[in-house]
A and B are shown apart, each in its own frame.
Chain A
């Protein structure tokens, strides 16, 4: 498999996390819906793996201790999504 570019990987994370947001809001109102819960858990697992892959290549996606950083501190590296729109 060809390695995904940084933006392709980011796009894949966006798609999965969007599905998780949508299921999350649904489950807030319907906590006994087992099928939605299974989907949510599967997506969480895939999302977690994709984020780990992204972070090992390009640095932390989240601040405040949610992902380690290589030296020197990577959090302040560009691009910032609110500028580039990623």
Chain B
């Protein structure tokens, strides 16, 4: 089970409203390579991992991704909380306001709702871990695009933290893939 801890993994202290940036950040809340997709992907794939180490790693990274979902949602909340409907409309969020007010909703930067189609879980540990490595790189690229879209240091600090986590997760999944290959090789006998 999961226990909630009353703290973010990394602090989010955004002082200035920025509705356009909030819209862009939706990419990492409800987009294809979002933190939400990552968490559901890893927590689903762990059931068909062949080694105890990889089961542990997918559980732990899947859990950390939930903390990242929370960081992104907090950023969007802080960037939009004082917005008026007119300001939302001017920032391209009129449609979002019509459907959700200022509620946090898992859609991407263009308003497309999150879907399980963003997740793969193939039952083959080599396929799944390779998918996970690609997913971490795609999320890293997305964070680089998001950092390019803002000058606000309060926004950049958590984005840089999340960017660095993608790099570490990619590394850990690479090691896990080697572990799975070793396991599969050890089962071959002639």
- The interface of chain A, by Cβ under 8 A from chain B, is 10-11, 13-14, 17-18, 21-22, 24-26, 28-31, 60-64, 66, 80-83, 85-86
Contacts and interface: CB of A to CB of B under 8 A. Distances in A.
19 contacts: A10-B7, A14-B10, A21-B9, A21-B64, A24-B60, A25-B60, A25-B168, A29-B175, A60-B6, A62-B3, A62-B4, A62-B6, A81-B7, A82-B73, A82-B74, A82-B77, A85-B8, A85-B11, A85-B13
Contacts of B73: 82
A11 B11 CA distance: 8
User: Chain B interface secondary structure, helix, strand, loop or mixed?
Assistant: helix
Interface residues of B, number: 30
User: Chain A interface secondary structure, helix, strand, loop or mixed?
Assistant: helix
B9 A14 contact: yes
A51 B77 CA distance: 27
Nearest to B158: A85
Interface of B: 1, 3-14, 53, 56-57, 60-61, 64, 70, 73-74, 77-78, 168-169, 172, 175-176, 179
A66 B4 CA distance: 10
Contact of B61 (A10, A18, A25): A25
A60 B6 CA distance: 8
Contacts of B3: 62-64, 66
A71 to B, nearest CB: 19
Nearest to B154: A85
Contact of A83 (B11, B57, B60, B77): B77
Closest 10 CB pairs of A and B: A85-B12, A29-B175, A28-B57, A28-B56, A81-B8, A82-B74, A61-B6, A81-B7, A62-B3, A25-B172
A28 B1 CA distance: 19
B30 to A, nearest CB: 16
A81 B6 contact: yes
Contacts of A62: 3-6
